[in-house]
Amino acid sequence: MPEGHLIHRHADEQQAALGGRVVRAAGPQGRFDARPYDGRVLTGVEALGKHLLYHFEDAPAIHVHLGMRGIFLRYDPEARPRPGTRLRLAAGGAAFDLIAPIQCEPYGPEEEAALRASLGPDPLRADASRDEAVRRLTAFHGPVGAAVLDQKVWAGIGNAWRAELLFLVGLHPGLRDPGTERAGRLWDAAAAYLALGRDAGQVVSDPDHPDERWVYKREHCRRCGTPILTWQLASRTAYACPVDQPGEG
């Protein structure tokens, strides 16, 4: 599933190409009625964790969640969309085709408010509160490795970022109650590294070697060479170096 850095990258690219323009909207697959949006101004594309909201003049927002299989493809507006395209938005010299999302639906004010209320702070949003992020993480009743995957705690973190961020801060995924200071350092790392990932289009946990990972899907720690520990935590495979992330607290 695309993590928050890629969702923000999609939002930024589509905002730059389509934002403030009258868009042509279509639902080639037939599973989304795009007629209420066709010929309207797209006022903004907003990323919230792993969710996207498309805001239009005089029409409900469109909510998109890519899920495990969803993708966007960019085409020339004159190109024919693939038969499986759920939604096409086009303006100027760009068309964006949405394929295989888990959700693509109109959202009125109540649905939008409920979505926002269901999500914790997003490290890539300017309006995210560090204090609130720390409060939610330290209030979580369970391991920190489960907390950061819970979208009600922090929005946008997935399994790859969980592994790499916890390594960078030296926290074992099984640690309970990391404390305010370490929770703050973890948030600061998330904000800094997810921004690198957004700009690069991939998880970047070492700016000097952007294609390398420290522990995620590795057999040995890239820093010290120790065999990586793996186990199931919050229904996903956790990764930790027993030397650089000692103990569970």
Hey, where are the domains in the chain? 4-118, 130-240
Active-site annotation holder among 21, 24, 135, 236: 236
Instruction: Note if 3 is an active site residue.
Output: yes
Active-site annotation holder among 50, 125, 162, 213: 50
Q: Which fold has domain 130-240?
A: Helicase, Ruva Protein; domain 3 (1.10.8)
- Over residues 23-45, the mean pLDDT reads 97
Instruction: Note if 223 is an active site residue.
Output: no
Residues of the chain with pLDDT > 90, as a percent, come to 96
> In the prediction, which pLDDT does 98 show?
98
Active-site annotation holder among 3, 28, 121, 164: 3
Instruction: Note if 236 is an active site residue.
Output: yes
> In the prediction, which pLDDT does 61 show?
98
Is pLDDT at 122 greater than 80 in this prediction? yes
**Is 232 exposed, middle or buried, given 0-12, 13-18 or 19+ CB atoms closer than 10 A?**
exposed
Helix 4-18 vs helix 179-200: crossing angle, to nearest 10 = 50
Instruction: Note if 198 is an active site residue.
Output: no
Listed in order, strand segments (DSSP E) in the chain are 21-26, 40-48, 51-56, 59-65, 71-75, 85-91, 94-99, 103-107, 229-233, 236-240
The closest of 154, 189, 157 to 171, measured between CA atoms, is 189
Superfamily of domain 4-118 in CATH is MutM-like, N-terminal (3.20.190.10)
